[in-house]
Amino acid sequence: MSAGFRILERTRKVNEQDVKNFAAIPVANISDSMARMSAAGARLRPLHRGGKLAGPALTVKSRPGDNLMVHKALDLAEPGDIVVVDAGGDLSNAIIGELMVAHAIQRGLGGIVIHGAVRDVDAIQSGSFPVFAAGVTHRGPYKDGPGEINVAIAIDGMVIAPGDLVVGDSDGLLCVAYEDVAAVYAAAKAKNDAEAAQMAAIRDGSTDRGWIDAALLRLGCEGGDQARIRHG
């Protein structure tokens, strides 16, 4: 087995119910439930027309500008899988385009994430198939390798292992480690429910804003005594 040019087997992945559960929660609330410590960087943006990305990761590490192993990953991926490609963040050459997206759709995949560039962006933007990428270029890819499939990758410091849960919406992309899925979901659902209650309070004018002045007092802000009197 040659490190750097190999295809490994994925030994576990999050189940369909986990995917459905997380798809119903905004990525921002999931992120808040993970101490706001995980992110794939602000450059990685959704390019499709709209809709949530959620599913188990099939990971690819490719040489920048080369998509040979991405083609193989599309053939190996199972329905609902998210093919997540670390192409080094390089924007010189597009890793996928309209034809590869069409192949992914035909195979029933859940989406594609490219830490790199894509092309045929008009076609991608007109469709609902989830595609996240760091940029766009008309220059096409090479197909010489090397690369790896089903290895741990990192995008802007966010580690993604094969089978981890990947979620994305207009706020960006997030990975939830396989072993953390249950705990993170419980916290994220509680956060989501709390925000729904808070939104209802805002709409009916009953929200409590006293926490702001309490924080100013605690932090020693000048004028905090006046805040205490108003909300005392």
Taking a C-beta distance cutoff of 8 angstroms, is the pair 138, 118 a contact?
A: no
Say yes or no to pLDDT of 179 above 70: yes
Q: What's the chain's average pLDDT? A: 95
Task: Report the pLDDT averaged over residues 122-151.
Answer: 98
Say yes or no to pLDDT of 176 above 60: yes
* Residue 232: pLDDT band with limits 50, 70, 90: very low
Say yes or no to pLDDT of 17 above 50: yes
**Radius of gyration of the chain from Cα atoms?**
21
pLDDT in tens, 54-111: 999 999 999 999 999 999 999 999 999 999 999 999 999 999 999 999 999 999 999 9
Six-digit token string for 136: 């766009």
pLDDT at 224 (0 to 100): 74
Say yes or no to pLDDT of 14 above 90: yes
Say yes or no to pLDDT of 230 above 90: no
Q: Helix-strand-coil percent breakdown of the chain, rounded to 5?
A: 35, 25, 40
Taking a C-beta distance cutoff of 8 angstroms, is the pair 159, 175 a contact?
A: yes
Q: Which residue has the higher pLDDT, 32 or 225?
A: 32
Q: How far is CA 119 from the centre of its chain?
A: 20
Task: Report the pLDDT averaged over residues 146-156.
Answer: 97
Task: Report the pLDDT averaged over residues 150-171.
Answer: 97
* Residue 231: pLDDT band with limits 50, 70, 90: very low
Q: Give CA–CA dist 75/94, Å, rounded.
A: 19
pLDDT at 228 (0 to 100): 52
Taking a C-beta distance cutoff of 8 angstroms, is the pair 83, 109 a contact?
A: yes
For tokens 């990947």, what's the residue?
Answer: 166
